[in-house]
Chains A and B, each alone.
Chain A
Amino acid sequence: MRQSVCSAAEHGISRRRVLGTLAGTGAGLGLGALGGLVQPAVGEELKQKERQVVLLWLDGGMSQLESWDPKPNTRFGGPFRSIETLIPGVQISELMPNTAKLMDRLAIVRTMKTEDPNHSSGVPKILRGHPKNRGVVYPYFGSAVAKLMGPTSSGLPPYLWVKPGSGGFISKYAGFLGAKYGALALGDGQPPENMLPPETLSERNALERRDLQKLFNQRYAATHRREWNEANSYVYDVADKLMQHSKLFDESLLPDRDHERYGRHDFGRHTLLARNLVEAGVRFVQVTSYGWDSHGDNFNAHASRVPKVDQAFSALVSDLDDRGMLDNVLVVMMAEFGRTPRINGSVGRDHWPNAWSLAMAGCGIKAGQVVGKTLDDGTDVATEPYDIGHMFHTWYQALGVDSQKTEFMNGTQPLPIAHDEMEPVAELLA
């Protein structure tokens, strides 16, 4: 029953004003982008740079040995070989041939050493940057960035999450920041419920309704405290923005070539949508791939899955680069931990927070390098270990947020945005 994705709001700017000058737009709410920050000055600079984030999350834990830190021909190495990358001396798994060709644009950290070997508690710990326990629930990375940087000038919601399964608004990710900084989840990349106007609502009627609504709202706002009308108007503005971009959700409009490059599997389709969402101006896009918990049959699982990640990840990084966006878009790919070097009785690998890898690109991250080294059999880090807190500091710095000075305010309680006993990894920052 939906009409074509080209909706009324798409013509929002050039449209005929039903009520003439009476129906101007109200001031935006700005989503309190700087509301709770101790240092509002930081924010202004950020806004101009429009830095953005794509987080690719491999839920369950991708094996570092079958991806970023292969150990072929060792006790725990498994059946896959390693291949050379564009950077001499840097080798990654043969399951990632496309990524290997982009190594000059990537940084790999091989000495991640984190605390939690459980999915249920490890996922939130990593996604919150595992700060010191202060008795509050910290926001996930996307909610934190939504709070610290707000929406970009596009006006699109700042934190979108593309995932398999169902969608909806996931407020709990916002922790103490409050529900509005939660993630708008696009289940299987589908648009939010009710986004598309029904056939029975003509474009003309939709426009007139919004103009008349603005008329009433202006009258109300003229004699009442501003915040209430700003908040109520803001959600309609965001709804309009989403509708203006409704083509983003129509996969049939994309060239076949894109589908082939990213892959027609879920992770490919969702990463392709993520590219389009950052291009449209979403501040933070998270893409989740589930099912990496290969306690059994690890090698067949990775032989099937890693090439799909390789395909989508490399397509994303090269597209952002080709479009000149990689300078301002941070791409991170990680999970809650890696997998055990020891191969268990079911030819699987188990949970391994002790020495795992992640990768990042863009936004001033110093590329073409590997940070850290693990032992020859992969059982532990051989050089300085890094916690997720170090990464959060690094990523905030890359985004232009001074992670050691900026604080959240939880009521009257100032809280560091990243673990206050950790610091950025200097060699990752150009």
Chain B
Amino acid sequence: MKSASRIMLPALATLLLSVAFSNTSLATRNLARADEASRPAAPPLPEPAPRPPLHPRIDALIEARLNGVTVAPQSDDAEFLRRVYLDLAGRIPTAMEAREFLADSTPDKRERLVDGLLSGPEYPRRMRELFHAMLLERRGDNDEWTVFLRNAFEQNLPWHLIARAILKPDENDEQLRGAAFFMTQRLVSEGAMAPVDVPGLTRDVARLLAGIDLECAQCHNHLTISHYLQRDFQGLHMIFENVKTRNDLKFPAVSEGVLSEKKEFKSVFEQVAMKTGPLIPGGEEVSIPTFEKGQEYLVEPDRKARMPGVPKFSPLEELSERLASPQNDLFTRNIVNRLWWVMMGRGLVEPLDLHHADNPPSHPELLDLLASEFAASSFNIRWLVRELTLSKTYQRTTRLLYTSAAEQPHESYAIGLEKRLSPEQLFWSLITATGDLERHRQRLAKEGKASLNSEAVVEQTPDLKSLKRAMIDTFANPPKEPEVDFAPSVKGALFLMHEDQILRLLKPQTGNLIERATSQSDDDTVRELCLCVLTREPADDELATLTDYLKQNADRRDEAIANLTWALLTSTEFVVNH
């Protein structure tokens, strides 16, 4: 990894870069980096050659560290199907999609399904929902931010450009300017007694984009992690102390002040004055250029227009280019570790934001490989997700099919690991299972609104829109808490048990699951419910028990079917991605 040659940006990325950064600020950058000023500008290179498949190498490195642990078999088709829909489309498959896949006997059907999902309309939505929760941690939402994430994932924008849009938002780029919400929402005052939490912003940038949690290094060097220094925190913090939310624009945007001096700080323990300039996580200190008084600005502030002005020296720009860079190990390792965690259920480095030398990855060679290959792919998220999905490691069953299986260490990846469903995945899966998404799609089509995508259907159906909001409120973690662990709540249980919006889904309606089930034989009803909700056939004894239940309650069949459906929808098998 360290020896990886300098990776050039592909043509597309370079183009976007020049949109994101004005020529004037590029000139400033040369001033700021005297050491690099003599280096000739790199000519844009063509798109890198297609990468050789990564997934066999992933599997080889996982197997190399099994240490005799027995490997679980690959998932069966039904298990794989459900998992891959949840991970790549953000929902379970419909019964029709399931039947089609299960009946397909061609050998490459898994790969074709993966490619179909990755190029489908739901993959960008799923990624947007995933990264929204990961980056904003339920601090709120904003239309411009949504536009930014939508564009980012619909265009498969390289990860370093996503990160740069966040770190140095460009208010002139309508496609991506909403990325500023990452900063502005963290710079909101939470009341008269609470100062704006700039240290919190510093911490989050380091945690989420560099995988290091510097919280404890704000006031002194970290006590237990020798690699996290107070200087790291202070050098990053001074960049954000210089940032203000712009209030002259109607969308989220930030401005920077003039930064002309190093920052002085003291450890609370030693009280010795130290100094640092802007410091890039995983990188170096940025030298601060000096300008004659009155020459600091490219664009002078305009008080009348409430325009804050544009200084020649932009620490945010330095940060965005030097952190979000293929040369920055922390940056590349953080993102591949997070994507690995999303797909595999456990980070190679755990916790996700504690990368340091004394907390090594479970598979160091694999983390290095993923990082260097991801950088070499020019940070192509869709490509990496595809490779992870195609690995045997991803496709292993979560079932304990042999006696010692439950004792296998999680970090061996010998058995598939279960994953928490996000509130969004739960919502989309619920309305997929009950048929309400399809039912309303058809209703809207009859009203002349043909072929709406799922989001538009929800947006135009007040019941579903309200249910989505309620489910995110109920099942999301509180603001500022990463959604990492499976954390079912009493609130969630009571919501599923008693909330009218849930119970309504269990009444027969034209085209929904309950209505379909009521008109079938007992056997077919049970099969239909199992397939629609759990994406599998009922086992023989299960089928016998459940048809018996329906038979005994033939006089109140609608109620019995509703009960059965509720139980399926709230079962652990449904609310977990396995």
Binding site for B on A (CB under 8 A): 18-19, 22, 119-120, 134-135, 157, 168-169, 171-172, 178-180, 184, 192-198, 200-202, 205-206, 208-213, 215-217, 219-221, 223-226, 228-229, 231-236, 238-239, 242, 411, 413
- Shortest Cβ distance from B193 into A: residue: A120
With a cutoff of 8 Å between Cβ atoms, the chain A residues found around residue B401 in the complex are 223
Q: With A194-B499, A200-B503, A413-B224 known to touch, is A179 a contact of B490 (CB < 8 Å)?
A: no
With a cutoff of 8 Å between Cβ atoms, the chain A residues found around residue B490 in the complex are 157, 169, 184, 192, 235, 238-239, 242
Q: In the complex the two chains form, is A197's CB within 8 Å of B481's CB?
A: no
- Shortest Cβ distance from B194 into A: residue: A120
Q: With A219-B539, A220-B571, A228-B486 known to touch, is A195 a contact of B494 (CB < 8 Å)?
A: yes
- Shortest Cβ distance from B489 into A: residue: A235
With a cutoff of 8 Å between Cβ atoms, the chain B residues found around residue A231 in the complex are 486-488
Q: In the complex the two chains form, is A232's CB within 8 Å of B406's CB?
A: no
What's the minimum C-beta distance from A143 to chain B, rounded to whole angstroms?
A: 14
CA distance A120 to B193 in the complex (A): 7
Q: In the complex the two chains form, is B563's CB within 8 Å of A224's CB?
A: no
With a cutoff of 8 Å between Cβ atoms, the chain B residues found around residue A205 in the complex are 559, 562-563
Q: In the complex the two chains form, is B497's CB within 8 Å of A197's CB?
A: yes
What's the minimum C-beta distance from A197 to chain B, rounded to whole angstroms?
A: 5
CA distance A200 to B562 in the complex (A): 12
Q: Which are the 7 A-B pairs with shortest beta-carbon distances?
A: A212-B567, A216-B571, A135-B216, A194-B494, A213-B567, A229-B572, A194-B498
Q: In the complex the two chains form, is B478's CB within 8 Å of A172's CB?
A: yes
Contacting residues of chain B (410-443) with chain A, CB-CB under 8 angstroms = 418
With a cutoff of 8 Å between Cβ atoms, the chain A residues found around residue B578 in the complex are 224
Q: In the complex the two chains form, is A179's CB within 8 Å of B549's CB?
A: no
What's the minimum C-beta distance from B316 to chain A, rounded to whole angstroms?
A: 27
Q: In the complex the two chains form, is B563's CB within 8 Å of A208's CB?
A: yes
What's the minimum C-beta distance from A248 to chain B, rounded to whole angstroms?
A: 15
- Shortest Cβ distance from B222 into A: residue: A135
CB-contact partner of B571 in A134, A135, A217, under 8 A: A217
With a cutoff of 8 Å between Cβ atoms, the chain A residues found around residue B503 in the complex are 198, 200-201
Q: With A171-B481, A180-B487 known to touch, is A194 a contact of B497 (CB < 8 Å)?
A: yes
Q: With A171-B481, A209-B563 known to touch, is A224 a contact of B494 (CB < 8 Å)?
A: no
What's the minimum C-beta distance from B578 to chain A, rounded to whole angstroms?
A: 7
Q: With A171-B481, A179-B477, A215-B567 known to touch, is A232 a contact of B488 (CB < 8 Å)?
A: yes
Q: In the complex the two chains form, is A169's CB within 8 Å of B489's CB?
A: yes
Interface Cβ pair total, 8 Å cutoff? 139
CA distance A145 to B545 in the complex (A): 43
With a cutoff of 8 Å between Cβ atoms, the chain A residues found around residue B549 in the complex are 18-19, 212
Known: A194-B495, A209-B570, A216-B571. 19 other contacts (CB 8 A): A22-B545, A120-B194, A135-B215, A135-B222, A169-B491, A194-B498, A197-B498, A198-B498, A200-B503, A212-B564, A212-B567, A220-B571, A220-B572, A225-B398, A225-B406, A225-B418, A228-B418, A235-B489, A235-B493
Contacting residues of chain B (436-484) with chain A, CB-CB under 8 angstroms = 477-478, 481
Binary interface encoding of chain B residues 252-287 relative to chain A, with 1 for a CB under 8 A from any of its CBs, else 0: 000000000000000000000000000000000000
With a cutoff of 8 Å between Cβ atoms, the chain A residues found around residue B215 in the complex are 135
CA distance A19 to B549 in the complex (A): 8
Contacting residues of chain B (562-578) with chain A, CB-CB under 8 angstroms = 562-564, 566-568, 570-573, 575-576, 578
Q: With A120-B193, A212-B567 known to touch, is A217 a contact of B494 (CB < 8 Å)?
A: no
CA distance A180 to B401 in the complex (A): 31
Q: In the complex the two chains form, is B567's CB within 8 Å of A224's CB?
A: no
Binary interface encoding of chain B residues 494-514 relative to chain A, with 1 for a CB under 8 A from any of its CBs, else 0: 110111100100000000000
Q: In the complex the two chains form, is B492's CB within 8 Å of A217's CB?
A: no
CA distance A171 to B489 in the complex (A): 11
Residue of B481, B493, B495, B500 with highest tally of chain A CB at under 10 A: B493
- Shortest Cβ distance from A411 into B: residue: B351
What's the minimum C-beta distance from A217 to chain B, rounded to whole angstroms?
A: 5
Check: B542 CB closer than 8 A to any chain A CB: yes
CA distance A219 to B563 in the complex (A): 18
CA distance A219 to B575 in the complex (A): 14
With a cutoff of 8 Å between Cβ atoms, the chain B residues found around residue A236 in the complex are 493, 497, 570
CA distance A205 to B575 in the complex (A): 21
With a cutoff of 8 Å between Cβ atoms, the chain A residues found around residue B495 in the complex are 193-194
- Shortest Cβ distance from A212 into B: residue: B567
Q: In the complex the two chains form, is B567's CB within 8 Å of A216's CB?
A: yes
CA distance A238 to B492 in the complex (A): 11
With a cutoff of 8 Å between Cβ atoms, the chain B residues found around residue A223 in the complex are 399-401
With a cutoff of 8 Å between Cβ atoms, the chain A residues found around residue B560 in the complex are 208
Decide if the interface of chain A is mainly helix, strand, loop or mixed.
helix
With a cutoff of 8 Å between Cβ atoms, the chain B residues found around residue A413 in the complex are 224
Q: With A169-B491, A219-B539, A235-B490 known to touch, is A224 a contact of B418 (CB < 8 Å)?
A: yes
What's the minimum C-beta distance from B138 to chain A, rounded to whole angstroms?
A: 12
A-B contact pairs, 27 of them (CB 8 A): A135-B223, A168-B491, A171-B478, A184-B490, A194-B494, A194-B495, A194-B499, A195-B498, A198-B500, A198-B503, A200-B503, A201-B498, A205-B559, A209-B567, A211-B567, A212-B566, A213-B567, A216-B573, A217-B572, A223-B400, A224-B578, A225-B400, A226-B406, A232-B488, A234-B488, A238-B490, A238-B493
CA distance A300 to B39 in the complex (A): 77
Q: In the complex the two chains form, is A239's CB within 8 Å of B497's CB?
A: yes
With a cutoff of 8 Å between Cβ atoms, the chain B residues found around residue A180 in the complex are 487, 489
- Shortest Cβ distance from A200 into B: residue: B503
CA distance A45 to B341 in the complex (A): 40
With a cutoff of 8 Å between Cβ atoms, the chain B residues found around residue A212 in the complex are 549, 563-564, 566-568
With a cutoff of 8 Å between Cβ atoms, the chain A residues found around residue B224 in the complex are 413
Q: In the complex the two chains form, is A221's CB within 8 Å of B572's CB?
A: yes
CA distance A197 to B500 in the complex (A): 10
Q: In the complex the two chains form, is A219's CB within 8 Å of B489's CB?
A: no
Residue of B497, B499, B563 with highest tally of chain A CB at under 10 A: B497
With a cutoff of 8 Å between Cβ atoms, the chain A residues found around residue B542 in the complex are 219
CB-contact partner of A209 in B216, B223, B539, B566, under 8 A: B566
Binary interface encoding of chain B residues 340-376 relative to chain A, with 1 for a CB under 8 A from any of its CBs, else 0: 0000000000010000000000000000000000000
Binary interface encoding of chain B residues 208-223 relative to chain A, with 1 for a CB under 8 A from any of its CBs, else 0: 0000000110000011
Residue of A197, A212, A242 with highest tally of chain B CB at under 10 A: A212
CA distance A200 to B398 in the complex (A): 38
CA distance A196 to B489 in the complex (A): 16
With a cutoff of 8 Å between Cβ atoms, the chain A residues found around residue B559 in the complex are 202, 205
Q: In the complex the two chains form, is A228's CB within 8 Å of B576's CB?
A: yes
Q: In the complex the two chains form, is B563's CB within 8 Å of A216's CB?
A: no
CA distance A178 to B578 in the complex (A): 24
Q: With A135-B216, A413-B224 known to touch, is A192 a contact of B494 (CB < 8 Å)?
A: yes
With a cutoff of 8 Å between Cβ atoms, the chain A residues found around residue B492 in the complex are 235
CA distance A172 to B578 in the complex (A): 29
Contacting residues of chain B (385-403) with chain A, CB-CB under 8 angstroms = 398-401
What's the minimum C-beta distance from B341 to chain A, rounded to whole angstroms?
A: 17
Binary interface encoding of chain B residues 23-53 relative to chain A, with 1 for a CB under 8 A from any of its CBs, else 0: 0000000000000000000000000000000
